[in-house]
Chains A and B, each alone.
Chain A
């Protein structure tokens, strides 16, 4: 009987671990909102937008200057010294559908985790 209890316990532990693992894997997809800020392909910052309590700004130097505004759930370029300002006009993003791009400063802000917007691409 002792041996049976051991096996039952082992099986229960294995099942519990498997279930916990599966729940963890599922919870990682679609939740959390990591915004990665790249310059010329190099990741400068990785920010969990869901965890942002108070808004703040980040300054990015390069050929031009971008001021990035980080808010709870969204991120964007609030000010730029580049001539075309396309990055500023893109506004704040909260999903992974289209990144914010500043071509002159080789800057991209990409929301990496699926924010479940339901769209695969953005024609613009």
Chain B
């Protein structure tokens, strides 16, 4: 059968329309893998999990299930948790794998940081009201009494059995969110999720870069400046955790008292730092180290970095300088023009 001119035009027009429509539809949904995101209150903070890939929705739901499970073990305020039971009974004959891991990490970081991170500081935090919201500056005497109960060296932990000093308490508040990030990251990967971003109360943890292959761009807060950012770092995986005194603090008689205490004095750590950010593979270590670095101050933090390594950091001094370790030299971008950028090298060079 011969095609008439009209039918050829008709056919061409229809084919063209179908092609253009298909193109337009594809363009609308381009590069959009299955994705799911959810936000919830958990671990006394607000958390968001975003995942990309097949089964993303189920994986995000499982992530929050894991976070709730960990909270049930690690919460210091929930009287039914393992940690609360350990605190009320002065120890335990056997601890869970999670508590074991965190006790071991807490003790390791306590030794590495010369006591700047202390998982036994809870009685002092309580005295200041940081755990109850009833803030107040305690008397020197009361604080000294409380410091008799603190100090990770007083923990007796061997063969899975833990004994606390009388009146002593453990608290994984400086590690738990980072630890949860590690556990959730492992869970998501087990479920075949190759790309995800976790925001566990400001602790950022990345898995596998973005679905388009580019890195996640994580901003670092400018201490006390609301939505202004100090800078940003591009990462494919691991944690970016910041500690500072600019969010949780109270004022009394014109003086500011923040929630990160120097375990040696029991007073808020005043080390000359406004914030300390740690970038590394282990979320739990990033979490613990960011607190410790904030307590240590610039000189001790740099010494620690040079001695131990295995992580990178961004330290913001109260004198307008930003210290960034060499591993971040090519990925950290400073956005605050008035700050001076100083690159810290592992070998001590300029």
Contact = CB atoms under 8 A, between A and B. Distances in A.
B39 A110 contact: yes
Given A86-B248, A97-B227, 4 more contacts: A22-B24, A95-B227, A103-B41, A106-B41
Given A119-B218, A124-B221, A92 B241 contact: no
A89 interface: yes
Nearest to A97: B219
Given A119-B218, A121-B218, A121-B219, A98 B202 contact: yes
A93 B227 contact: yes
Given A11-B13, A83-B135, A123 B27 contact: no
Interface of A: 3-4, 7-8, 11, 14-15, 18-19, 21-22, 25-26, 41, 76, 82-84, 86, 89-95, 97-99, 101, 103-104, 106, 108, 110, 118-124
Interface string B61-99: 000000000000000000000000000000000000000
Contacts of A95: 227
A47 to B, nearest CB: 17
Given A19-B24, A119-B218, A122-B218, A84 B248 contact: yes
Contacts of B210: 120
A7 B10 CA distance: 7
Contacts of B199: 98, 121-122
Contacts of B20: 15, 18
B261 interface: no
Given A83-B134, A103-B44, A120-B197, A89 B246 contact: yes
B311 to A, nearest CB: 14
A62 to B, nearest CB: 13
A123 B134 contact: no
Contacts of B247: 86, 89-90, 124
A97 to B, nearest CB: 6
Contact of A99 (B16, B39, B225): B39
B226 interface: yes
Contacts of A92: 226-227
Please list the 9 inter-chain residue pairs (A to B) with the smallest Cβ-Cβ separation, ordered nearest first. A91-B226, A83-B133, A124-B221, A124-B202, A123-B240, A121-B204, A119-B219, A11-B13, A101-B46
11 contacts: A11-B13, A11-B14, A22-B28, A83-B134, A89-B246, A99-B39, A103-B45, A122-B221, A123-B240, A124-B220, A124-B244
Interface of B: 6, 9-10, 13-14, 16-17, 20-21, 24, 27-28, 39-41, 44-46, 133-135, 197, 199, 202-204, 210, 216-221, 224-227, 229, 232, 240-242, 244, 246-248, 250, 277
Contacts of B229: 119, 122
Contacts of A25: 28
A123 B44 contact: no
Contacts of B221: 122-124
B217 A120 contact: yes
Which among A7, A8, A84, A123 has the greatest number of chain B C-beta atoms within 10 A?
Answer: A123
Nearest to B259: A84
Given A95-B227, A103-B41, A123 B46 contact: no
Given A123-B220, A123-B277, A18 B21 contact: yes
B317 to A, nearest CB: 18
Contacts of A41: 40
B22 to A, nearest CB: 10
